[in-house]
Amino acid sequence: MASTAGTLGANLTTMATAMKFRTVRFKNLSLCLKELEPFVRSGTHLRTGRGFKRFDGLRSRELLGNWLLCVTLNFVTTPHRFIFTSDPSGGDGIIFDTSTENTWPTEHIFVPPMRADEKATIEELILKAIDQKRQKGGAAYASGKTLVVFLDSGGGVWFPNKVARSLPKPLLFDAAWVVGLHAVDAGEYSYDATCLDLSGGAAPAYRIQISKDFDDWTVQQVQ
């Protein structure tokens, strides 16, 4: 395990997905959250921690981002339906639908804390990150993948509809999500997960509230 701090424990198992290769996953999303607890509380590890060899190189923030997507999708569809796995092909994890066995490979990009002299808005930083990832390999690289922007800008409020309206065309990725910390209050962490899709009139945004003992969570739609 090549991490700057901490390890992943015994709550991992392997599975073969419809993509016909061997992957690693957590036994369930509850155990995954407990494994992620020290990295979330650290904060620094989410920013700088290196990838876990036991999970095909995924970083703690990529594990957290995929966890946030899965609990959100389970909220809007069917509980326990979505999980995520590693991606031995070099991606940043695979969202797996246990009902249909469909898979959605993900690519992640990190928006770091804003510098004191930062002139750009949060919306501009998100769009810059999306375009950077989009240009990395063009259509062949992005096709069929979900892009996850892990936002750690610390710059306050941003407007999802404004970002969704300004997405590059074509986006190349099948979908784009933004996840990031909303608040820490009395030991409880809340994160937001936003899909940059205006097909329903507004970009759907969800708040995931993690209990202070990291044993449970709730999800609500906030937009």
Residue 1 confidence (pLDDT): 24
CATH of the domain at 133: 3.40.1540
Give the span between the Cα atoms of 88 and 85, in whole angstroms.
9
Confidence band, pLDDT 50/70/90 cuts, at residue 163: very high
Residue 136 confidence (pLDDT): 87
Confidence band, pLDDT 50/70/90 cuts, at residue 8: low
| Residue 29 placed within a domain | yes
Q: Which tens digits make up the pLDDT trace of 187-205? A: 999 999 999 999 999 999 9
| Residue 5 placed within a domain | no
Q: Which tens digits make up the pLDDT trace of 110-139? A: 999 888 787 889 999 999 999 999 998 889
More confident residue, 153 or 183: 183
Strands 82-85 and 94-97: antiparallel
Residue whose tokens read 């940043």: 92
Q: Which tens digits make up the pLDDT trace of 49-60? A: 999 999 999 999
| Residue 86 placed within a domain | yes
| Residue 135 placed within a domain | yes
Residue 82 confidence (pLDDT): 97
How many structural domains compose the chain? 1
| Residue 156 placed within a domain | yes
Residue 38 confidence (pLDDT): 96
| Residue 166 placed within a domain | yes
Host domain of residue 196: 12-221
| Residue 3 placed within a domain | no
| Residue 6 placed within a domain | no
